[in-house]
Amino acid sequence: MPAQPTATASAAPISDRPPVSLRVSGLRVGYRVEQGHLRAVDGVDLEVNPGESLGLVGESGCGKSTVGKAILRLLPEDARVEGRVLLDGDDVLRMSARQLRQIRWTKLALVTQSAMNALDPVYRIGDQIAESIVAHEDLDRRQAWRRAEELFTLVGIPQERLRDYPHQFSGGMRQRAVIAMALSLNAGLLLADEPTTALDSIMQDQVLAQIQRLQRELSRSMILVTHDIAVVAETCEKVAVMYAGRITESGPTAAVLATPYHPYTMGLRNAFPTIDGDRRELISIPGNLPNLLDPPTGCRFASRCPFSTDHCREVDPPLIEVGPGHLSACHYPDQAAAFRDRAAQRSTWTTDPGGG
């Protein structure tokens, strides 16, 4: 007798596609808008090794979803895209429609907040998941249903609820069902864009824990897009912080959050509680993102940075290595420790920056 199938080593249901590697380099995305060209993403490099999880963080409008959409080739037709998005070495940006169909759902799957609407109200949830499996893989209906059952167990929903209709599910269950659906084809890379934003915080924790467990147990590669640095701290081994279309700091999550080198990361860290159990004062970063139609010269964060100098406003800081795999785009890595101390004080962020 074969052993009871488990999620990780099942006989049939969850196939063992290998995790994929992703290498994004020099990614630029411009949206055509009335007033001109909006440079939403302006030279982004990212690397996700097989089985790795990367958190992409930054405040609203910094370009996170645009990066995600570029990776999945889901940008509007008139968007201007440059750079490379290598998925296991093949450039997604140069693939034909046919090649794209082959990799979608097998190598790349997407979970978004609006994916909640992906469930059709008039069909049973189990039928919808099974149907998508049958459409993409060489499995019959019974095998597909069995895989759906396993996935429901994985995301913590009783199997019998596969026979329910979407309206019979709570919001959190619907979200988990969508995650199950995204995982049903066992894509090598899961791109989750604010997958839990619509949920309350308890449900958020549950869903994130499940995504994390799945990613680890099935050794998928993952990109988690979120504005919440605390979520990344809990879920991802690597982090890339974005500001105004660029990566300002990246590296191992623990290192970046414990000893940030970029003042923006320091400010972002202040805005979220209990990353490491510290009783840190909640401080927000005053000001707004610069105009992406006409980005300023020099460091894009300079106008909001409490430590900026004339040099910052004139010269664009490159990403430089400040620790193992840890990059930061600030001109003053030597002063990072002092910046960290000052960044923890509210008064630092309330006085007008730019005094030099």
Q: Which does 54 bind (CB under 5 to 8 A by kind): Mg ion, ligand ATP, none?
A: none
Q: How many angstroms separate the CA atoms of 283 and 159, rounded?
A: 44
* Closer residue to Mg ion in complex, CB, 65/248: 65
Q: Compute the least distance from the CB of residue 282 to ligand ATP, in Å.
A: 19
Single out the segment in contact with Mg ion by CB under 5 A; choices: 14-22, 59-67, 205-213, 301-309. Answer: 59-67
Q: Compute the least distance from the CB of residue 135 to ligand ATP, in Å.
A: 28
Q: Site for Mg ion (CB under 5 A): how many residues?
A: 1
Tokens 């990246």, residue located: 250
DSSP letters of 24-79? EEEEEEEEEETTEEEEEEEEEEEEE-TT-EEEEE-STTSSHHHHHHHHHT-S-TT-
Query: Contact, 187 vs 107, CB < 8 A?
Result: yes
87 strand-pairing partners: 22, 90
Starting from the edge strand earliest in sequence, which strands make up the sheet with 221-226, in order?
Answer: 108-112, 189-193, 221-226, 53-57, 238-243, 246-252, 326-328, 320-323
Q: How many angstroms separate the CA atoms of 188 and 170, rounded?
A: 28
Q: Which does 38 bind (CB under 5 to 8 A by kind): ligand ATP, Mg ion, none?
A: ligand ATP
Q: Which does 326 bind (CB under 5 to 8 A by kind): ligand ATP, Mg ion, none?
A: none
* Closer residue to ligand ATP in complex, CB, 38/154: 38
Number of neighbouring beta carbons within 10 Å of residue 298: 19
91 strand-pairing partners: 86
For residue 316, the 8-state DSSP code is: P
* Closer residue to Mg ion in complex, CB, 195/317: 195
Q: Compute the least distance from the CB of residue 223 to Mg ion, in Å.
A: 12
* Closer residue to ligand ATP in complex, CB, 60/96: 60
Give one word for 19, left, alpha or beta, with left for phi > 0 and alpha for psi -120 to 50: beta
What does the binding site for ligand ATP look like in residue numbers (CB under 6 A)? Answer: 31, 33, 38, 40, 58, 60-66, 76, 227, 292
Q: Which does 62 bind (CB under 5 to 8 A by kind): ligand ATP, Mg ion, none?
A: ligand ATP
Binding of Mg ion at residue 112 (CB under 5 A)? no
* Closer residue to Mg ion in complex, CB, 211/218: 211
Q: Compute the least distance from the CB of residue 231 to ligand ATP, in Å.
A: 13
Phi, psi dihedral angles at 39 (to 5 degrees): -85, 85
Q: Compute the least distance from the CB of residue 290 to Mg ion, in Å.
A: 18
Query: Contact, 36 vs 29, CB < 8 A?
Result: no
* Closer residue to ligand ATP in complex, CB, 65/270: 65
Query: Contact, 37 vs 31, CB < 8 A?
Result: yes
* Closer residue to ligand ATP in complex, CB, 162/329: 329
Q: How far is CA 157 from the centre of its chain?
A: 24
* Closer residue to Mg ion in complex, CB, 65/265: 65
Contacts of Mg ion in 130-189 (CB under 5 A): none
Tokens 């302006």, residue located: 42
Instruction: Tell me which of 21, 65, 210, 328 binds Mg ion, using CB under 5 A.
Output: 65
Q: Compute the least distance from the CB of residue 193 to Mg ion, in Å.
A: 6
Q: Compute the least distance from the CB of residue 239 to Mg ion, in Å.
A: 16
Q: Which does 63 bind (CB under 5 to 8 A by kind): Mg ion, ligand ATP, none?
A: ligand ATP
Q: How many angstroms separate the CA atoms of 333 and 305, rounded?
A: 14
Residues that bind Mg ion (CB under 5 A): 65
